[in-house]
Amino acid sequence: MTIEEAQKEVDNWIKTIGVRYFSELTNMAILTEEVGELARIMARTYGDQSFKKSDLAKDLGDEMADVLWVLICLANQTGIDLTEAFRKNLEKKTNRDKNRHKNNEKLK
């Protein structure tokens, strides 16, 4: 699925199953919550924290998909073409960092 297809799929789901989008501010708060849930699983899987019983059933991929879902909702609500925005962002990073990471002694 392309990013464009994902944006259309989410929009269709919202309009047919979800009734309507939550407000942009509500979705921003939800995005923050979802990133927090992802961070919790990352900290327990790859960091120093131990799992709690309530964390054991969590799925890392599902948590990432939750973050992507809400981000797509926000893009749809604010008229952002994520494919184009990502392309421009990649170009910006490439131009800015084309030698920076190669010259970083910490990465060698």
pLDDT tens-digit map of 1-37: 999 999 999 999 999 999 999 999 999 999 999 999 9
One DSSP character per residue, 13-54 reads HHHHTS-SPPPHHHHHHHHHHHHHHHHHHHHHHTSSPPPPGG
CA atoms within 13 A of residue 62's CA, in its CB half-sphere: 5
Mean pLDDT, to the nearest integer, of 57-65? 94
CA–CA separation, 75 and 63 (whole Å): 19
Q: Domains of the chain, with CATH numbers? A: 3-107 (1.10.287.1080)
Confidence of residue 105 (pLDDT cuts 50, 70, 90): confident
Predicted pLDDT at 75: 98
